[in-house]
Amino acid sequence: MSNQPRVLVTRLIPEAGLERVRQACEVTVWAEDMPAPYERLLDLVKGMDGLLCTLTERIDAGLMDAAGPQLKVISQMAVGYDNIDVAAARTRGIPIGNTPGVLTDATADIAMALLLAVSRRIVESVDYIRTGQWQTWQPTALLGTDLAGATLGLIGLGRIGKAVARRARGFDLRLIAHSPHCPPEEAHALGVELVELDYLLSEADYVSIHTPLNERTRHLINRKTLAQMKPSAILINTARGGVVDQHALYEALQAGKLRGAGLDVTDPEPIPLDDPLLGLPNVVILPHIGSASQRTRDRMAMMAADNLIAGVTGQPLPTQVK
C-alpha cells in the first residue's frame, strides 16, 4: 500500500492534468465515455481523500458521506459548480475548487459564434445548400439581422460577460448589462452601461446570458421575461440551461414573439432528440462546447489537478469557491 493520498477522478480528463495527479496521488479514474451512474460513484468514492469531478456528476451530501470523513477536497474541472451541494460541503469542512479564468476567452468566443450564427442564419444557410435549395444568388433569401448599431444586453458582467463585451465592441454593438455586483467603473471602462433587467430585456436586440445557475437565476428567462423582449430579439445562452425555461422559450419562438435563439447549454443535457426546439430553423443548439478547445481543456485539467493536490496535502486551494 502506498502512503500517497487516494483520489477519484470521475472522467477521463486531459493527460496534462491527469499526469500531475498521478505524480502526487494514488488515482482511480472512471475512464468510460459515459459518466459513472450515481450508485457506482457512491462505491468508487469510498475511502478517497480527494475527488476530481466534472459538471456531469451530482456531488451531494450522500456522496460526501459515502466517501467518508477523510475526504479533504472536491475539485471541479469547470467554472460553474451548480452540480455540487456547496452547503453540504461547507458543513463538512470540505473546500471546493473550480477553474475560473482559463475558459473565459473560449466561452466568450462560443457566445459570439452563436450570436453570428443565429443573426446571420448560418446553420440554415448550410442546410440550404445541403438540401439542394441553392439555385441562384437571391436578393431576398436568407436575410438576417445586423450586429453593427444594434444593442447587446448582457445578463451578468463577470469574467465571461466582460470578454463578450470586449469582442462585441469590435462588432460596433451598443452594450448594456444587468449585473448587480459589477462596479460601475469596470463596466464603464468597457463601454458598457449598467441597467435594470426590465430595461435590458425591453431594449436589447440580442440578449446573452452570463450568470451562474443558482436559486436566484433558475428560470430567470421565463414566459414573463420573454414577453418583455422585442419580438425581433435573439437570445444567446452559454451559461447553464436551467437559467432558461425552455418550454417558455419554445412557445415564444413558435408564436413569433422572439426571432431566434442560440444555446450552448440546455436543460437537461443532452437535449432529448424529440425536443421541439431542435425542429425550429431559427434555433442553433450546441452540445455544451463553450470551453472545448484543446488549450483551454488542458489548462482546466491542470488547474483542477492543482486544486486537488493542494486539498489532499492540506494546502489552501489555488482557486477555491468562496
226 versus 304: smaller Cβ distance to ligand GLV: 304
Q: What angle do CA 134, 135, 136 make, to 5 degrees?
A: 100
Inter-residue contact 150 to 156 (CB < 8 Å): no
> Quick one: 39 exposed, middle or buried, by C-beta within 10 A (0-12, 13-18, 19+)?
exposed
Residue 126 identity (one-letter amino acid): V
Kindly name the residue from 6, 210, 259, 288 that is annotated as catalytic. 288
Residues contacting ligand GLV: total by CB under 6 A:
7
Contact string (CB under 6 A) for ligand GLV, positions 63-92, x = contact: ---------------xxx------------
Q: Smallest distance, Å, CB 302 to ligand GLV?
A: 14
Work out how close the CB of 275 gets to ligand GLV at its nearest, in angstroms, rounded to a whole number: 20
Residue 214 burial (CB count, 10 A):
13
C-alpha to C-alpha distance for 215 and 73, rounded to whole angstroms: 24
Maximum Cα–Cα distance across the chain: 74
Active-site annotation holds for 240: yes
Give the residue with the Cβ less far from ligand GLV, 29 or 289.
289
Distance (Å, rounded) from C-alpha 52 to C-alpha 311?
Answer: 11
Question: 20 or 240: whose CB is closer to ligand GLV?
Answer: 240
Q: Does 103 bind ligand GLV (CB under 6 A)?
A: yes
Establish if 18 lies at the interface with ligand GLV (CB under 6 A): no
Q: How far is the CB of 317 from ligand GLV (least distance, A)?
A: 16
Cβ at position 240, least distance to ligand GLV in Å: 7
Q: Is 290 in the site for ligand GLV (CB under 6 A)?
A: yes
Catalytic residue among 19, 32, 186, 269: 269
Q: What is the closest distance, in whole angstroms, from the C-beta atom of residue 180 to ligand GLV in the complex?
A: 21
Nearer to ligand GLV, 14 or 144 (CB): 14
Q: Nearer Cβ to ligand GLV, position 80 or 242?
A: 80
List, in order, residues 6 or more apart from 247 with CB less than 8 Å away.
Answer: none
- What is the distance in angstroms between the CA of the first residue and the CA of the last residue of the chain? 35
Closest by CA to 288, choosing from 30, 114, 115, is 114
Closer CB to ligand GLV, 260 or 290, in the complex: 290
**Per the structure block, which three cell numbers stand in for 13?**
480528463
Asked if residue 319 binds ligand GLV (CB under 6 A), the reply is: no
Q: Considering only residues 131-150, where is the footprint of ligand GLV by CB under 6 A?
A: none
- Is residue 211 within the footprint of ligand GLV (CB under 6 A)? no
Rounded least distance, CB 78 to ligand GLV, Å: 3
Could you tell me the sign of the dihedral formed by the alpha carbons of 135, 141, 145, 149, in that order? positive
Determine the distance from the C-alpha atom of residue 279 to the mean position of all C-alpha atoms in its chain, rounded to a whole number.
Answer: 23
Distances (CA, A) of 48 to 202, 304, 311: 51, 16, 12
C-beta separation of 259 from 281 below 8 A: no
Q: Rounded to an integer, what distance in angstroms lies between the CA atom of residue 117 and that of residue 98?
A: 30
Q: Which is nearer to ligand GLV, 103 or 209 (CB)?
A: 103
For the question of residue 288 being annotated catalytic, the response is yes
Nearest distance, CB of residue 141 and ligand GLV, angstroms: 36
**Which of residues 291, 296, 307, 319 is near ligand GLV by CB under 6 A?**
291
Catalytic residue (one of 121, 240, 259, 299): 240
Footprint of ligand GLV (CB under 6 A): 55, 78-80, 103, 290-291
Which residues does the annotation mark as catalytic?
240, 269, 288
